[in-house]
A and B are shown apart, each in its own frame.
Chain A
Amino acid sequence: MVKVLYFARLREALGTAGEEVALPASVTTLAGLRAVLSARGGAWSEELAANRRIRAAVNQIMADEQTAIADGDEVAFFPPVTGG
């Protein structure tokens, strides 16, 4: 299982702040997880579509599509940041 968190606009659109997701054996990267979530349809497909500008972190460090993920990781998806 990986812990998946959603922030800001994504959290609101998806209706959840986070969940535990069982990783299919074939999923080893952030891009793979994004595709699994996106395949749920509805808001998931819309918000996590490949052309949507979203950012992600793995174990609280900014990550990219190719970043490896494994059981026990904390993954977060969020819009580009707007602090400061």
Chain B
Amino acid sequence: MTVRVQTQDFDASAEIGALRRGNPKVGAVASFIGIVRDVNEGAVAEMALEHYPGMTERAIEEIVTQARGRWDIFDALVIHRVGTLKPTDQIVLVVVTSGHRGDAFAACEFIMDYLKTRAPFWKKERTPSGERWVEARTSDDIAAERWRLKG
């Protein structure tokens, strides 16, 4: 498992290649890339992402550990950027390797849904009319809730 929080951009193709290299049992790789859009509830010129160093890495590792317990996956990589980002910039990369696509797709989506609601990152948008903290979305809570195990 690899978790990185960094200001610099990432090369998804190189990261995917590195994650599956040397394991001939990998039959499926699922990946997700989050991108900064130029509009949210208004025009967005720029975005500043902050996080809670230490807890962030720990929270994402915990999410990946849960994914490993639920699906048959070989490895997972999460890279999340912080600092100043502009529209069209990449924010987040999740890559999961598995023997088959079902586990890879599910684990990748689970990691992303949990990251959105459990990893301590906060976005502040700079718009033509000033700065605003992005509010958490109920739709993200609902997306994460879908994965709750029925008791």
Contacts and interface: CB of A to CB of B under 8 A. Distances in A.
A84 B124 contact: no
B113 to A, nearest CB: 9
Report, as a range, how many residues of chain A touch the other chain.
Answer: 10 to 19
Given A61-B58, A62-B59, A83 B52 contact: no
Interface string A73-84: 000101111111
B123 A83 contact: yes
A62 B118 contact: yes
A82 B118 CA distance: 9
A7 B54 CA distance: 13
A5 to B, nearest CB: 7
Q: Which label, helix, strand, loop or mixed, suits the secondary structure of the B interface?
A: mixed
A9 B52 CA distance: 13
B62 to A, nearest CB: 8
Interface of B: 34, 49-52, 54-55, 58-59, 80, 91-92, 112, 115-124, 133-136, 140
Cβ-closest 8 pairs across A and B: A83-B121, A80-B136, A8-B122, A60-B55, A84-B116, A82-B134, A9-B133, A82-B123
